[in-house]
Chain A
Amino acid sequence: MNRNMNADLAAVDGRRRLNMDKLLTIICFVLLFIIVIIPIFMIIYNAFFFEGTFSIDLFKEQLTADKNLSAMWNTLKIALFATILGTIMGVFYAWLLGRSDIPAKGLMRALFNIPYMFPPFLGAMAWDLLLNGRSGYLNRFLMTTFGLSKMPFNINSIAGIVFVEVSYYFPFVFLQVVSALERMDPTLEESARIAGAKQGTVIRRITLPLVKPAISAGALLILTTSLAHFGVPSILGYAQGIYTLPTRIYAVIYNSGGSFEGIRQGAALSVMLVAVVALALVLQNKILSTGNYDIIKGKSMRPTLIKLRGAKAPLFLVAIFTLILIVFVPLVMIVLISFIKAYGLPLTPGNFTIAQYLKVFKAGGTLDSIKNSLIVSITAGVVCMFLGTLVAYVVQKIKPKGKEALEVISVLPYSIPGTVLSIGVILAWSGNLGITLYNTLWIILVAYMARYLSFSMKTSSAALLQVHSSLEEAARVCGASHSESLADITLPLIRPAMVSGFFLIFLPAMREVTTSILLYGPYTRTLGVQIYSLRDAGMIPQAAALATVAIGLIIILNAIVTQITKDRKGV
């Protein structure tokens, strides 16, 4: 059939096929240019150029200001300690739960995952309520109980910030190392034992070096996240005048009332922050650079468990204590405070009420903030799911010239701090380029898209690598056009990955505060911003009530995700 096809028609057809690939590639570049390149460019431009001429004065001025220098110093100190302590804690618990015969492993692992999905700034809020240097509940309790003359703890300090960050960031290392330990070939350790090495030697000489890449990957994640983190230092540090670069950027812009000068100063500080992050990455690379080991296999094995014997009971107690401290205490505190009549009253049943919930939901902003967060998170999730898949497809399958650039551009926004990204977005989309999105939900959406694009890009990329090109080619040869083969073969095969990409974006976007705190307008508060501003305005029980609702929402959404991803058929 079709044998006498007109040769010219065929030729035209042949060229059109080429063009579809080209079209996808061009769309990719254009969208990434708009979403990523323009905001980043605007930051750099505004930090160094003033009214069209190059000037390094602003930058110098910001760099030498005492307040900024101390903020930079604080940022580094907090990040360094959080990374070191978080890594030690993560590795220790990964080993304990992955390799020892400690009881209740499954339950403990599930509980250790909670800090991972819990917004750290809510944890900071809870600890502030407990250990605030002036009025913390636990502090006052300890004072009266032990007759102390001053508050024993002060969470509003560098140490306090480090403590809260560690309790939320150690899962980065924990999760990485636990999975590496599980995928490690147990015969490697067994052969060392057979060769005569003692248990301690095996851990030191065999196990640790083998999981070193996993440790350093997790540590890197803690380091960059902490450097860029806004929530915890802003809640705990503000009152004491402890600033980090991200909170300093926020303060500069907030104090200037959103004036252009303030944003420009913010841009200069952003460049500093990015430089610090970049420096940290380079240092980390130097210190921890190791080859990757292929010895860790993809298939799952059953490693031999190490008997703790006498140490079992104490270690179990330590683990339980840690769990209570980092998971239950903050959670319970937030919930309790949400029921209190007024902040500061003792936590006795007589002082409990549900009035705070009624107040919060009667206030117009609350429902709107939930609605806003849902709209922006779902939209960002859906758009990124498709855009990320598009980028992944172009990079993995079309492989145009400059695909490396495409990859870097799409991952770039995630490695720059959310605060910095917000400033770029403000500079780009508040009229400077003729488009004004400021004070609309759109500007938050654009920022989320840039920030979270890499999540969906990575999951889709990994899935596409699994789809051998011969599957699509077979469809082409069977008579499907290029777009048909995409729709019939490739997309259905990576659909599960796309769905999990969506949730990877939707969930963090729902609880996000760092980016939207700089972008919200009177009618576009997000859930995170609403909690933050309620607390800022001193309405702490109300903030706690809304936080409780947010936590409930997160738990429900997470349960739904787990259910969905569990049911999906393995392809």
Chain B
Amino acid sequence: MTLSIRNLRLSFGKTEILRGIDLDLEMGDCLALVGESGAGKSTLGLSVMGLSRGSASGEICFKGRSLFGISAEEFRELRGAEMAMVFQNVEDALDPVQRIADQIAEAIKVHSSSTRARDASRLAVRHLSNVGLNKDKAGMYPHQLSGGEKQRALIAMALVNDPDLLILDEPTASLDALTKADIIELLRSAIVGRMCMVITHDLSLAASLAERMAVLYAGRIMEMGRTEEILKGPRHPYTRGLIRSYPAMDATKDLQGILGQMVHGLPGCPFHQRCTQRIDICSLEVPKQTEKEGRIIACHRGGIVPLLEIKALSLTLDCYPVLRDLNISLCEGETVALVGESGSGKTSLSKAIMGLYEPDRGAVILEGRRVEKRDSAFYSRVQMIFQNPRESVSHRMNVLNAVIEPLLVQKKGSHEQRLQRAKKVLSMVELPIDDDFLKRYPHQLSGGEVQRVAIARALALGPKLLIADEPTSALDPSVQAKILKLLMNLQDRMGLAILFITHDIALARKISDRMAVMQSGRIVEEGATNQLLSHPSHPYTRRLVDCASGRYDGGNGDIILDRDVAELIAEPGDQSALEKYC
């Protein structure tokens, strides 16, 4: 074990910036520290380097030696020689009145007094050429270099004494994509055989450099594990929020931020104020880090909670099998798009979940409990938005009555409280709450307004899961965009899980995290939306994606007929037919 950090705490005055960090780094490991600004990433790096002010406690063990309690002089010898840091701000890290080569030669001389000045300069020039700066550049002053070149110089400076621990603080911030690619290439070779910590908020950099990743929030590690796995399937709500707000090239869903601001020094879980799945204990106790399948998560609820699971659901209507052994699951705050042509059973599934149809077999599991009877508790967790708002809102009810209806049905609160709640949900869906509007009838409203009223109705009971059955198919595209934005905002705010039923793949692509493709009452393919759309594996999915992208000939000149695919799907066991087709 060459670097181990145990229960590291650090505070500036009364504010605790690091609240018990546990980390281990082996030789050859590269760990990315990610998190939003102020999370304590740089402070952690600086405290390992012994450069942070503030009072620290805990233990940092570097190559078997505790770094707490060693003298400033000893620390100075370690720095540069055995551990080095590439600082964030390239403009400030270099001395503006010295040539680059001289600055590097100085770093060499500090750590080996025996080296002569000329040798040091020669070494410096060689190191600079190693990072791609030629002799001419080596003789220049920092202001004569571009940002990328300065970054290279800094990397060279960190590497001159061949340190075992390299800490990179935002090494590619403020670089353009091409320069960034060059620097990443350089860093990749630089970190080989060393312990490395990459401090960044750039997830793509973390993905390309580090095999492990730790997500920091307000001085605590929220999630730690293999980079690839975390980026593909975040388990902590904060990690998911971070990934959702990162504009990756392969992301298809619209960017979503995490609401609220980071506050240091909260009791309990540092993230609980912004977390949409918090429970009482979250504000009282700091969650312990638990390891499961190689992933460390600090969450009282064990990470993102699975909200709904449907197991082997079968439904027969009029002797015709509509759903056949269907499995699907949904997590808190997640949007799953259910796509497929009309008649594939999408709406029947939603109705079966809501209890409007009685399934023959199978289980609906909500928050870990099997739903036996759909009582008011179930309906206050799960709500539905119907396809045509003009039909789902009774034409005899004005806006107020329509929104109050669910509360009335569940006998929640006094009349005054219901009125307050109705006004609250109406303002959540961005509708006016003046008396004139409350007294209007559905036929006096526009399509978008009625759908908002329908959404407000569904929200009145404070559900966690929203089943949206083609909620925008009756609306024009600009109103549709507004409604979808609204749904995403509500998801951010309340952690709503949304089962979004649609036949519009392009639409599903923009709003869903995962996508499930349904055909003849079965889910034929399921996966992360971007993955599924870029590499559809099932022929039916491929056809759907092709047709949605305007390629009606299947890409190879053959026109795929519906019945061809239908025949293939009719006998899913018949692999040979599938292979022949593929």
Query: Is A bound to B?
Result: no
* Chain A residues in the interface with B (C-beta under 8 A): none
Task: Please give the residue numbers on chain B whose beta carbons come within 8 Å of chain A beta carbons, in ascending order.
Answer: none
